[in-house]
Structure 1
Amino acid sequence: MSQPFIDPLHRWHFTYRVQGFVLEPNPNLLIETFTSSQPLYPFAQRACRLLLHCYELTRVRLGLEHPLKEDRLLRLFLCREGKPGAEQQSNLIYLYQVSDQMPSTEWLRELTHEYGHFVLPPINSFVEPEAWANGDLGERLFGVWLLNALMANQIDPESVMGVSEVALRTYVQRAVQPLVERMAREGLSPARWRSRKRDGYEEYLALALYAEQVYGAERLGRAMRIAGGVAPDDFLNGLRESLLEPSRLKVNLLRHPAWLLLPGGARRWRVLGEARLVPDPKRPDWVRCHCPERTLLLQQVNR
């Protein structure tokens, strides 16, 4: 740039900028990444490319857009200064103490985490590990989706900050699948859900990740959009409403048997196929599904 860009938060000077546009239906500047260090310029390019991929995944799968408040523009600053870590404020994301020696997995984790804080509806009220859980959810959702894109040869490792397919699969197997598998095996735990500590934080993540894998990203995105608040119960109510909107609901069964969230319980749903739904008297919206197939179609009754 001919003139340094001064960031709004710290008033630091940045001399290198990468701009990311969406071209349809009209060219629109969506992302700007900044750095003051020439060796970090390639990382600014990769980060911009990664965030454009994440934007497209968010828009197509969840039906979410960048906030209109800032004309949908996100600015990312790669800083050598500051304390190690990252933060997001409004449409600004800062990564501090970065260097060209940072592991690629750390680049990917930090960027997808902070982008989750920016683009996903907030869920608040936790005291640990952090107050807002949407960053962690974004990190894990994007991890799954980017891994699938890598496996399908839709993107290359350069699109995910140089992270290999093996490394990304290892992350998903560690950070995502145990939570999803627990939810499918046990259903929602009221005790964990009420906790505002790590147990409750992880139960929210488990439910959201489970919803994406069992009911699909469209139902998850709809739940986020209609939640109407930032408490975990708001999201749960939004998910219930989202699942009740279609007259027929397709579910992916992750194990046999599997617990399913079916608002209204077993009496509200008719199985279209070979399966048996066993209600839980203590959790009216949860049923245990016995089905030999991997997918199941359910029809609402008494709508």
Structure 2
Amino acid sequence: MEWPWRLARPLILALSALLGAGSAAPAPASTAEKEALVARSVAALRANACDEAALSALRRAFTETFPATLPADVATYLPVPHQLCEDRVRADAPPQRGLILTGLAFPDAAHRQDPVSRQVFNRVLHGYVQAADDEWRLAFRVLYNDRQEGAERLAPRAMRALLRVRAAATAMVGDPRRVLQRPIALWIRADGNGGAAQSGPNLYLLGAAEREPLELLRQVAHEFGHLFLPGIGPLTDPEEWGNGFLGEMLILRWLARAADAADAPVPREALAAYLRQEAEPLARAFAAAGWGALVGHERSTGGLRLLLGMVLHLEDTRGTEAVGMLLRTVRGTAITDWAAAGRPLLSSLDDRNPVKEREPGRE
């Protein structure tokens, strides 16, 4: 006698539930659960580096929702493809250590859709930095689509550029706007002709076209500057907000003075040559023109160039510490606000950092 399906179905479902009860539990979905899973797995591997169950659990932790923090020695046991990197920007400070998870990974549901274009992405790289307590903390996600030609090659290069830019910025001036407390996303979008953009906590490379190493580093520094530095503007040209140009000038300058990382695609000599052409003339122009040259140019390209020159000249004559003070004390976004914050720093005497030259110009 054949059982009616409506009677058999509940029995089949019950049997499936019983059989499933003894199978492996699914990977934890939340960040906190993943962090706990990693901690348990690493603790087990410290005791026995060949513990297959711990290695399997650790591998399972790096699927979809990734941990936000990792133990200091996690790289010793990681069963997934990864890259370690190091950037020393200041001789008197420890280097920034980075950990890039380079294996195939799919973004979790909360981080797969670009909030601006609403485009959905199907691949992600995660970049961690080691904090002062040696714990690894998630700093960057680079998202792309594997169907987009060139994106898979560009993504790890973009991640490495992000880590170098972050190392330079934090080593020299800290985190003046406290924007690095949460991970930053960089999206490699299909649309665009090789440019870059920024919107809120999101950075964009527009198109996966091949970029020269210096150009990629410049683009990342520029867009990171929009996020990391206080605003400059609104301006009539060349962009509405000028802090991207300031980020570009300062960060590339700091990297040009830093020791070359072993895997740095842009040597210091190339950065120095770029800065001799693009940045140093701005500092000289401000030193020659003085404050009065800003009058009437508060929203133009000319005013922005003078302001960039003022900040570079401030670093030349008062040191990077004064630039950090400027970033923390400017109270407004207009060029006149920046000038008001910068002028006392240039004109005051400081025993720890004496004036090296006279104040440029007088109104």
**Range into which the TM-score falls when normalised by the shorter chain:** 0.7 to 0.9
Deviation at 1:46, TM superposition (A): 2.5
Report the secondary structure of 1:43's partner residue.
helix
Q: 1:16 aligns with which of 116, 123, 136?
A: 123
| Letter in structure 2 aligned against 1:44 | A
TM-score using structure 1 length:
0.73
Q: What residue is the counterpart of 1:275 in the other structure?
A: none
Please list the CA deviations of residues 165-198 of structure 1 after superposition, one character each: whole Å capped at 9, or x if unmatched: 44322211111111112233x1524234530222
Describe the shift of the 1:85–1:218 C-alpha distance in structure 2 as closer, same or farther (beyond 3 A): same
Report the secondary structure of 2:115's partner residue.
coil
Q: Which moved more, 1:230-239 or 1:109-118?
A: 230-239
Gaps of 5+ in 2: 1-104
Q: Which moved more, 1:112-121 or 1:13-22?
A: 13-22
Aligned: 1:60 with 2:171: yes
Describe the shift of the 1:243–1:148 C-alpha distance in structure 2 as closer, same or farther (beyond 3 A): same
Describe the shift of the 1:135–1:226 C-alpha distance in structure 2 as closer, same or farther (beyond 3 A): same
Q: 2:232 aligns with which of 94, 110, 123?
A: 123
CA distance in 2, matches of 1:65, 1:189: 25
| Letter in structure 1 aligned against 2:203 | I
Deviation at 1:231, TM superposition (A): 1.2
Deviation at 1:202, TM superposition (A): 0.5
CA contact (8 A) 1:183 1:259 kept: no
Aligned pair count? 251
**Overall identity of the aligned pairs, in %:** 27
CA distance in 2, matches of 1:125, 1:81: 26
CA distance in 1, matches of 2:150, 2:234: 40
Gaps of 5+ in 1: 262-279, 284-303
Larger strand proportion of the pair: 1
Report the secondary structure of 2:353's partner residue.
strand
CA distance in 1, matches of 2:239, 2:150: 32
Give the aligned CA root-mean-square deviation in angstroms: 2.6
Q: 1:114 aligns with which of 220, 223, 228?
A: 223
Alignment of structure 1 residues 126-165 onto 2, 5 Å: 126-149=235-258, 152-153=259-260, 155-156=261-262, 158-159=263-264, 162-165=265-268
CA distance in 2, matches of 1:202, 1:134: 11
CA contact (8 A) 1:187 1:260 kept: no
Alignment of structure 1 residues 84-103 onto 2, 5 Å: 84-99=194-209, 101-103=210-212
CA distance in 2, matches of 1:3, 1:62: 32
Q: 1:207 aligns with which of 288, 295, 310?
A: 310
Please list the CA deviations of residues 40-63 of structure 1 after superposition, one character each: whole Å capped at 9, or x if unmatched: 334322322222222232222113
Report the secondary structure of 2:143's partner residue.
strand
CA distance in 2, matches of 1:259, 1:242: 12
Report the secondary structure of 1:194's partner residue.
coil
Q: What residue is the counterpart of 1:40 in the other structure?
A: 151
CA contact (8 A) 2:143 2:155 kept: yes
Q: What residue is the counterpart of 1:230 in the other structure?
A: 333
| Letter in structure 2 aligned against 1:60 | A
Aligned: 1:260 with 2:359: yes
Q: Which has the larger radius of gyration?
A: 2
TM-score using structure 2 length:
0.62
Q: What residue is the counterpart of 2:82 in the other structure?
A: none
Q: What residue is the counterpart of 2:182 in the other structure?
A: 72
| Letter in structure 2 aligned against 1:260 | E
CA distance in 2, matches of 1:206, 1:96: 29
